[in-house]
Structure formats: structure tokens, C-alpha cells
Amino acid sequence: YWGNKSLIIVTYLSYILRSSTKNKLLLISFDGFRWDYERHSATPNLDKMTQDGVKAKYVTPPFLTITSPSHFTMLTGRHIENHGVIHNMWFNTTTQEKKQYYSAQFVDSYWDNGSLPIWITAQREGLKAGSLHFPGTAATYEGETVSVRQVESATYDYSNETEWRLNIDKVIGDWFLRQDLDFVSLYFGEPDGAGHKYGPDSPEVWEMIEQVDRTIGYIRDQIEEHGLSERLNVIITSDHGMTKMLREGEVQKIILSKIPGFSFKDIQFQLLDYGPLGMLLPKEGQLEKVYQALKRSHPNLHVYKKEEVPPRLHYSNHPRLLPIILIADAGYAVNGLLPLHYVKGEHGFDNEIMDMKVFFRAVGPDFQKNLLVDPFDLVDVYPLMCHLLGIKPEVHDGHLDKVKDMLVSSTDTRGGNLYFKNIMMIVLTLL
Ligand SMILES: *[C@@H]1O[C@H](CO)[C@@H](O)[C@H](O)[C@H]1NC(C)=O
Ligand SMILES: *[C@@H]1O[C@H](CO)[C@@H](O)[C@H](O)[C@H]1NC(C)=O
Ligand SMILES: *[C@@H]1O[C@H](CO)[C@@H](O)[C@H](O)[C@H]1NC(C)=O
Ligand SMILES: [Zn+2]
């Protein structure tokens, strides 16, 4: 009789233990979603999500405020100078070779520079992870990749709403439900594209925000329909904001070739014409000359020797950063020969500028409802995600304390109550 009973108890206990494990987590990034973008658009689904969950006033992204570096901060909780993905572009100062955003995704040694993305840590702790289009997905880290992944083609259309829905169906129906993954990161390339092309305060961006809003509604419906609402936490955020570029005529542009005393003959390697950040490697012995020529050459250009970059930007201490770093004020770009590349909206600016801040929403069984929280930093999302997944974080630069208040007063207490209830049921069964 007792042997039988204990078998039942053991079976029952193991069931309780399994059912009290952590909830699943979906991290979603909408590229270039500035913190205040919902102002001009009808966003019923974002509003509903706010009622059902948590909204941050805004989140401060890391500097440099561009796509690959900032997304890798989300995945590692590290400042950019610490994870080493310092730019969208990969480059070699000896061979002069440059790889743009897409081709740089496949340079393993660029991404695998000592910081492990959360997928790998989760997998090492026995969880199952997936990633769709998220920057960093294609690379191999210490010999491992995220085990379930989809990398887009070089010509992928990042704004096609039908494609977005197919991707969501895959992540919810296949990856979370059928394959039982614990964590997935999911990337959408808008509203970044619309922000660059039409400027952040354009009707085209307002329309794209409505597309994003419909998509959020679709994601939440799919989660509900597949019965995952009570088991899946969702975090939605972004990598950087967007600001309006100033036009020729309104302002004097920053064009290095026109600066007296500056010559490209003194430069071994340059990274220019990529928005507000420029980097230069002067030829042997020319550093001081180049620096003095550029310093105070334009009122809206900040010229630093690498080690002088303000510490709050955390963009100084990495061997990949070049000896001279140029940072333009909001609305300006750092041009080399000519202002060739004209966009109406741009990012990459100082992360203190409000237009660079991003939005943040979260909903799910572990999040409070209808709660507005104070601003925090994007590096803090990493320890939050590790906490939700119940995995031990790697060394990182975030603070769980800054984001903990958004969680229900303690998942552990709820688990404890459930545990207590089940123990009582066992006792009752025994009686
Ligand atoms: C750049 O190219 C040189 C010469 O081919 C090579 O020795 C060096 O390792 C390369 N650096 C990087 C970062 O790939
Ligand atoms: C990171 O990259 C730098 C420069 O490319 C290299 O010197 C350094 O050894 C790398 N560190 C790790 C841990 O991979
Ligand atoms: C959007 O994607 C769908 C599905 O792949 C495709 O059938 C459709 O032609 C695309 N639309 C546009 C405008 O490219
Ligand atoms: Zn962009």
C-alpha cells in the first residue's frame, strides 16, 4: 500500500516541479521605434498592451545608437565597448576592406568577441532558444549557434506586413508551441526604414506605426489562440530612435575635405559618411596634426582622441575603435568629401538626446498590469530576461534592481503558494 502511495507522490511532486518552472519569453525588436512615436498614430493594440502590462516612459539605448551594436547590447547586457560589435560595418584597417550591415552578420570573429548572447547561455542551461532575423543570429559563438534560427536573404524586404505575419506564425505556432522553445528573439526592420526615408515626423512614419500596432495585435491574438497567454512573457523594445536631419542652407554641413589643415593624405583608414559618427586612423606620426586640424573646426562636431570620449558613452575602451572619434550634434552627419548620402531621418547620435530614446512594453504572467515605470537603460533588459528565464547571467553592465519593480510582487511567492496548495492536496490524499 505505502509503496504505491509513494510512487504516486513522487510522480505528483515531479509534476509540480515541472509545472512551476519558469515561463517562456519572447523578445521583440522593432528597429528605430522612438519612445514617443505613438503620439501621432492610432495605436489601439499598443494601448491595450499597456493596460494589460508594463510601459516604460522611455529606455536609453547604448552609444553608438545603431542597429547591430545596440541589438548585441540587448542580447548580452554589455556596453558596446565591452562586447566589441562597435559598428554595423565590419572593417580591416590594413586591407581597407569594409563589409556593410548584412555581410558583417556572417563574420563570426566580429560577433564572438568575448560576450555570449543570451541564447547560448540559455542553451547551456538546458533551455531551448530560437532567433528570427535578430542581428547576431547568423554568427557562431564559442562554437555554438542559437539552435533554431532564421536568417533573412540579402534582398529581404523588411517592411512587408504579410511577411511579418508569416514570421509570427512560425515563431508562435511552430517554435513556441510545436518545438516547445523557451526563448525567442524576433526582429522587424521597421519603422527604421520609413524614419530614414521620410523623416521621423512624417505621415509615412505614422502609417508605419499603425502597421507595427496591427502587428502587435496579431502577435497577441496568436499567443491567445495557441493557449500560450499564461505561459509566455513578451517584451517589445527597440535599438535606437530617429531624428530629423538638417538641410543644407539651414546649417553648415560637416565636410572634412573642406576643413583647413585637414588632408586625406594623412589618413591610413577612415570610416565616414555613415551618419553622425566618424572614425579615423591617421598615418604613422600624423595623429596630433589631424586632431589639431579637426578640433574646433565646426561648432557641431566633437573631436576626440579615443581615450577622451566621455566615459558615460562607454565608447572608448576597445581595440577596434580607431584613434580619432568624431561625433556630430543632432541633425548633422560627418561627411568625408561631399555630403553624398542624404536621408531625412538618422540615428547614431549621443544617447542622451531624447530623439535617440526607445519605447518599451512588456506583458505576460510575470509582469504587473497597467503600470508605467521610470526610464532605465537598454543594458538592464538582459538581467531582466535572465531573471525571467531563471538562468544565471554572464558578466554584464545592467542592473536588475532598475527593472525588478515591473514584475508581479514575486513570482517565487506565487510558486510557493502553488507548492503549498499541492502539498496540502497530497496530505489530503494520504488521509
Ligand atoms: C586584417 O588584414 C590583415 C592582413 O590580411 C590581417 O593580418 C589581420 O588579421 C586582419 N584583421 C582583421 C581584424 O581581420
Ligand atoms: C576582440 O577583438 C579584438 C580586436 O579585433 C581582439 O584583439 C581581441 O583579442 C578579441 N577578444 C576576444 C575575447 O575575442
Ligand atoms: C509580401 O510578401 C508576400 C509573402 O511572401 C508576397 O506574396 C508579396 O508579393 C509581398 N508583397 C510585396 C509588395 O512585395
Ligand atoms: Zn537605421
Same domain, yes or no, for 169 and 88?
yes
- 236 C-alpha vs ligand 1 centroid, how far in Å? 38
341: pLDDT strictly greater than 80: no
The protein residue with its alpha carbon nearest to ligand 2, atom 13, reads 114
Which of 293, 309, 342 is at the close of a domain? 342
Same domain, yes or no, for 159 and 221?
yes
The protein residue with its alpha carbon nearest to ligand 1, atom 14, reads 92
Which ligand is in closest contact with the Cα of 164?
Answer: 3
Average pLDDT value for residue range 215-236: 98
Same domain, yes or no, for 142 and 197?
yes
333 HSE (CA, 13 A, CB side): 24
Q: Return all residues near 224 (Cβ < 8 A) that are at least 6 apart.
A: none
Cell numbers given for 36: 514617443
Q: What are the pLDDT digits (tens) for 378-424?
A: 999 999 999 999 999 999 999 999 999 999 975 444 444 455 555 55
Binding site membership of 153 for ligand 3 (Cβ less than 6 Å): no
Residue 263: how many other CB atoms lie within 10 Å: 13
In a domain, 10, yes or no: no
Binding site membership of 155 for ligand 3 (Cβ less than 6 Å): no
For residue 12, the model assigns a pLDDT of 57
Binding site membership of 163 for ligand 3 (Cβ less than 6 Å): yes
d(CA 41, CA 351): 25
Q: What are the pLDDT digits (tens) for 23-39?
A: 999 999 999 999 999 99
For residue 248, the model assigns a pLDDT of 81
Q: Write down the residue that cell numbers 510522480 correspond to.
A: 11
Cell numbers given for 416: 510557493
Same domain, yes or no, for 166 and 226?
yes
d(CA 87, CA 69): 6
The protein residue with its alpha carbon nearest to ligand 2, atom 5, reads 320
Same domain, yes or no, for 371 and 326?
no
Sign of the CA dihedral running 49, 54, 55, 60: negative
Same domain, yes or no, for 216 and 275?
no
The protein residue with its alpha carbon nearest to ligand 2, atom 8, reads 113
Same domain, yes or no, for 89 and 203?
yes
Which ligand is in closest contact with the Cα of 86?
Answer: 2
- 347 C-alpha vs ligand 4 centroid, how far in Å? 6
In a domain, 328, yes or no: yes
Same domain, yes or no, for 105 and 186?
yes
In a domain, 3, yes or no: no
Sign of the CA dihedral running 293, 296, 302, 307: positive
Binding site membership of 162 for ligand 1 (Cβ less than 6 Å): no
Q: What CATH number does residue 168 fall under? A: 3.40.720.10
Same domain, yes or no, for 94 and 150?
yes
Q: What are the pLDDT digits (tens) for 119-173?
A: 999 999 999 999 999 999 999 999 999 999 999 999 999 999 999 999 999 999 9
The protein residue with its alpha carbon nearest to ligand 2, atom 6, reads 319
Which of 342, 368, 390 is at the close of a domain? 342
Number of domains in the chain: 2
Average pLDDT value for residue range 297-324: 98
Which ligand is in closest contact with the Cα of 319?
Answer: 2
Three-class secondary structure assignment of the chain: CHHHHHHHHHHHHHHHHHHCCCCEEEEEEECCCECCHHHHCCCHHHHHHHHHCEEECCEECCCCCCHHHHHHHHHHCCCHHHHCCCCCCEECCCCCCEECHHHHCCCHHHHCCCCCCHHHHHHHCCCCEEEECCCCCCCCECCECCCEEECCCCCCCCCCHHHHHHHHHHHHHHHHHHCCCCEEEEEECCCHHHHHHHCCCCHHHHHHHHHHHHHHHHHHHHHHHCCCCCCEEEEEECCCCCEECCCECCECCEEHHHCCCCCHHHEEEEECCCCCEEEEEECCCCHHHHHHHHCCCCCCEEEEEHHHCCHHHCCCCCCCCCCEEEEECCCCCEECCCCCCCCCEECCCCCCCHHHCECEEEECCCECCCEEECCEEHHHHHHHHHHHHCCCCCCCCCCHHHCHHHECCCHHHHHHHHHHHHHHHHHHHHC
| Lining residues, ligand 2, CB within 6 Å | 84, 113-114, 319-320
Closest by CA to 147, choosing from 112, 108, 118, 119, is: 119
Confirm whether pTM is higher than 0.85. Answer: yes
Q: What are the pLDDT digits (tens) for 226-270?
A: 999 999 999 999 999 999 999 888 899 999 999 999 999 999 999
Note down the domain range covering 328: 254-342
In a domain, 423, yes or no: no
Binding site membership of 109 for ligand 1 (Cβ less than 6 Å): no
Q: In b/e form, how buried is each residue of 384-406, taking b as 16+ CB within 10 angstroms?
A: bbbbbbebebbebbbebebbeeb
Q: Which residues are catalytic?
A: 67
Which of 311, 342, 373 is at the close of a domain? 342
For residue 19, the model assigns a pLDDT of 46
In a domain, 428, yes or no: no
Binding site membership of 174 for ligand 3 (Cβ less than 6 Å): no
Using 50, 70 and 90 to split pLDDT, how confident is the model at 9? low
In a domain, 426, yes or no: no
Cell numbers given for 56: 516604460
